[in-house]
């Protein structure tokens, strides 16, 4: 677990050092209102730090409330599997140690298993416990990344003039005037 804690710390350091290097020059976006007063609207750094401190807080800051249950469901599911796999790993590890101990009094619960089976089961749950721990860290990082991207796109204007149209088309080529060529036509409007 000491290595996992160091890995989490290193990942957090890398994410935030890179986001600071590539973020906007100021911490917030400033909007000029019609009454010529300045109002601070949104900060991507603030959203990132809030999500790093408490998952889902950056999404609340970005007013994307529907994402918070998804974040907590993903983190809760991986936490459940970490705890469950760790419990099973500890049981099989102890049974394997008891089997190697050659003391038949300690080996009562897993008598039906061979020694090799106990070792394989111990390694299986160890591997999946660690995999779920990395998955937990990955979900936490995605939570931070989502908050930062949403904060950057918070003031992005999606007006009525922005559209894309895809439709089938038929063209005559200069080489073969008698056979039309069928395809798709893409039209972008800004």
Q: What is the pLDDT of residues 39-70, one digit of tens each?
A: 556 789 999 999 999 999 999 999 999 999 99
Residue 187 sits at the vertex; the CA angle it makes with 182 and 190, to the nearest 5 degrees, is: 175
- The residue to which tokens 């089997």 are assigned: 99
Average pLDDT (127-140) is 97
Separation between Cα atoms, residue 11 and residue 17, nearest integer Å:
10
Q: What is the rounded distance in angstroms from the CA atom of residue 166 to the CA atom of residue 5?
A: 49
Alpha helices in 23-56 (DSSP H): 44-53
Distance CA 74, CA 56 (A): 11
Average pLDDT of span 80-107: 87
Entry field: residues in the chain: 190
Please tell me which of 4-13, 19-28, 91-100, 102-111 the model is most confident about, judged by mean pLDDT: 91-100
User: Which band of pLDDT confidence, cut at 50, 70 and 90, is reported for residue 19?
Assistant: very low
pLDDT in tens, 107-119: 677 888 888 999 9
Closest CA to 132 of 83, 97, 89: 83
Strand partners for 30: 40
Q: Which residue has the higher pLDDT, 121 or 160?
A: 121
Three-class secondary structure of residue 121 per DSSP? helix
- Most distant CA atoms of the chain, gap in Å: 90
More confident residue, 183 or 54: 54
């Amino acid at each position: 677990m000491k290595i996992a804690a160091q890995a989490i710390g290193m990942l957090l350091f890398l994410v935030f050092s890179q986001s600071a290097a590539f973020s906007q020059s100021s911490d917030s976006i400033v909007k000029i209102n019609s009454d010529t007063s300045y109002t601070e609207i949104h900060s991507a750094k603030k959203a990132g730090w809030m999500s790093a401190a408490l998952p889902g807080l950056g999404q609340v800051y970005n007013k994307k409330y529907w994402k918070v249950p998804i974040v907590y469901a993903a983190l809760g599911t991986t936490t459940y599997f970490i705890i469950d796999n760790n419990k099973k790993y500890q049981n099989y590890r102890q049974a394997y140690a008891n089997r190697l101990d050659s003391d038949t009094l300690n080996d009562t619960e897993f008598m039906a298993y061979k020694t090799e089976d106990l070792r394989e089961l111990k390694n299986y749950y160890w591997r999946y416990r660690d995999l779920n721990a990395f998955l937990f860290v990955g979900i936490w990082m995605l939570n931070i990344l989502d908050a930062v991207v949403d904060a950057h796109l918070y003031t992005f204007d999606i007006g009525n003039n922005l559209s894309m149209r895809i439709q089938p088309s038929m063209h005559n080529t200069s080489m073969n005037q008698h056979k039309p060529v069928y395809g798709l036509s893409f039209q972008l409007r800004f």
